[in-house]
Amino acid sequence: MAVEHNTREIEEGVVTDLRERMSYGSYLGLDTLLASQHPVSDPEHHDELLFIIQHQTTELWLKLVIHELDDARTLLAADDLGAALKRIARVKHIQEVLTQQWSVLATLTPTEYAQFRGSLASASGFQSAQYRQVEFALGNKHEQMLKVFEASPAEHAALEAELHRPSLYDEFLRHLARAGHAVPTEILERDVTKAHVYNEALVPVLQAIYESAGEQTDAVHWRAYEACEELVDLEDNFQFWRFRHLRTVTRTIGMKRGTGGSSGVGFLQRALELTFFPELYAVRTRIGA
């Protein structure tokens, strides 16, 4: 049967006069958002728009990750574990999107990127203040990183505030202590401006949570166990993102130095050795041993 037309009529009642109403575009600020891509290559290279949008969308997702981690920590401090885990679950989904995004940038070949890479000058993802905020929020504190943002007072202030705030792991362990778990005092009173480092004394505490939860008869241990696994998911996802970043950079620029002055691939490789929640991995060696 032949189709006489291939259009969909606008339903009666659909708002079409938006001159004095909020519209989709005005609500989302699309005039500003879609006018924020400014290629600097001359003549403008076709693929530079891809490069810009890839990194801009990453920054938008990082903004949401920061928003969720902020609230997750507030909820943990109030011992509202269920709501905190909801926030963490959302972050995990965002991480999956961020990791998949690398496949789009990976369509940029070495030859194509080389044609406009020089136009970036010293601009580099290393200088992403929001990425550093996420790392700080998860516990990878590094005070010297603040130097990178001295030229931007607002970014510097946000990162400095994050430096002095307990990380997600700090708040989780404090929550465990209030719930009756024997978290070592030195962890609860540690200097939160420093990166968390492995503490052997915490492993038996986590082991007790895992082994009691395995019986599925202790609701307190089961909730703590569930939270531990959510944090492991969070770190695994972060490592997947780091690894995908590393592989995308490797296939695009090889062993060249980064535009921001880093060693490039070698610098990213060393990041894979960093961990946020070391005891949550160490406990796996103990369970059932």
Domain boundaries, the chain: 50-109+127-249+263-286
The pLDDT value recorded for residue 253 is: 81
Residue 277 in this model has a pLDDT that exceeds 80: yes
Is residue 69 within 8 A of residue 168, CB to CB? The reply is yes
Q: How many residues does the chain have?
A: 289
For the record, the structure tokens of 245 come out as 């970043």
pLDDT in tens, 161-174: 999 999 999 999 99
pLDDT in tens, 227-269: 999 999 999 999 999 999 999 999 988 888 777 767 778 777 8
Annotated binding site for heme: 245
Annotated binding site: 51-55, 113, 117, 245, 259
Residue 122 in this model has a pLDDT that exceeds 90: no
**Residues contacting 221, CB < 8 A, separation 6+:** 208, 209, 212, 213
Which letter, b or e, does each residue of 162-173 get, where b requires 16 or more Cβ atoms within 10 Å of its Cβ? bbebbbbbbbbb
Better-scored residue on pLDDT, 200 or 8: 200
Q: What is the topology classification, in CATH, of domain 50-109+127-249+263-286?
A: Methane Monooxygenase Hydroxylase; Chain G, domain 1 (1.20.58)
Which letter, b or e, does each residue of 97-108 get, where b requires 16 or more Cβ atoms within 10 Å of its Cβ? ebbebbeebeeb
pLDDT in tens, 20-32: 899 999 999 999 9
**Residues contacting 27, CB < 8 A, separation 6+:** none
**What number of H helices and E strands is found in the chain?**
13, 0
